[in-house]
Amino acid sequence: MNRFQGKSVVVTGAASGFGRAIAEKFAGEGASVVVADLDFKGASKVAESLPRAEPFEIDVADEAMNQDLVAHAVAAFEKIDVYCANAGIPHLARPMVQMDVADFDRVFAINLRSVFLAAKYAAAHMPEGSSLISTASIGGKRPRPGLTPYNASKGALITLTRGLATELAPKIRVNCVCPVSSATGFDLNAIGVSELPEDMNAAVVSGIPMGRRASPQDVAGAYAFLASEEAAFLTGVCLDVDGGRSIQ
C-alpha cells in the first residue's frame, strides 16, 4: 500500500521501539519521515535505512528544540501531514511516595508537556485533514501499583487528546493509542532488566486475553490506521492496543 505517498511525517522517540516501527511503517507506505530522538546516532541509523528520511536530535520536553524540529520538518518536506508524538518514558517501579520530585516532574515533562509543545508549534504547519497522534498507555485507563506517576501522565495525555481534538477540529484530527506492556526499553527503565524473568512475563501475559504483550508493529499499525483516510471521521479516539487487558 502507498496510503501516505506524498505525505510528510514526524515521529519522535523514533530511534527504537514503537517509534522506529512507526517510522518504518509510514516510510514503507510512501511517506517522507523526520526521525526524531534524543539518541541522534540511533535516529541517524534509522533514517539511513528509510528511502526519504531526515534524522533530528531532540529532547521533547525542551520548547526551543520542539520549535526547531517543526522548522526542520517544514524546511525538508514543506508541511507536516502526520505528527507522531510517540516519545515517552517510564520510571523505576516503586511506590509514588518514594519517588524523587525531579523524577516525577521529568515523567510529566516527557510524557505530557511534549505533546502540548508538539501541538503548539506544529499545528500551524499541518494542512486540512492532517493528524496528531500520541502514545498513551492502557495504564492511563487501568493503572496498577508501582507506576502511578507514569500512569497518571498517560491518563492526562488521554484527556489532553480528547480536549485538543475538539479545539483543532475539523482541520486536524487528534488521537492516541493505548498500548499494553511491550518488550521494548520500557522493561529496562521500569524494573532495571532488559528482559522480564519468565515468571514475571507469565504473570503479565496472564492478564492479556490475546496471550502476549504488544509488539512495536501492533502500535505502528494502529498509528497508520488513525492517520489514514479509513479513519477520516475519527478524532478524540484513544485506541486500546492492549490485547484485551482493559476488559479483564
Residues labelled catalytic = 150
Alpha-carbon distance of 160 to 34, in angstroms, equals 24
Beta-carbon count within 10 A of 141 CB: 17
Strand, helix or coil for residue 237? coil
Alpha-carbon distance of 63 to 142, in angstroms, equals 30
> Cell numbers at residue 48, please?
539511513
The DSSP output letter for 128 is T
Q: Kindly give, in sequence order, each residue whose CB lies less than 8 Å from that of residue 127, ignoring residues fewer than 6 positions away.
A: 79, 81, 171
Contact status, residue 21 vs residue 43, Cβ threshold 8 Å: no
Beta-carbon count within 10 A of 203 CB: 11
Contact status, residue 195 vs residue 187, Cβ threshold 8 Å: yes
Alpha-carbon distance of 85 to 166, in angstroms, equals 18
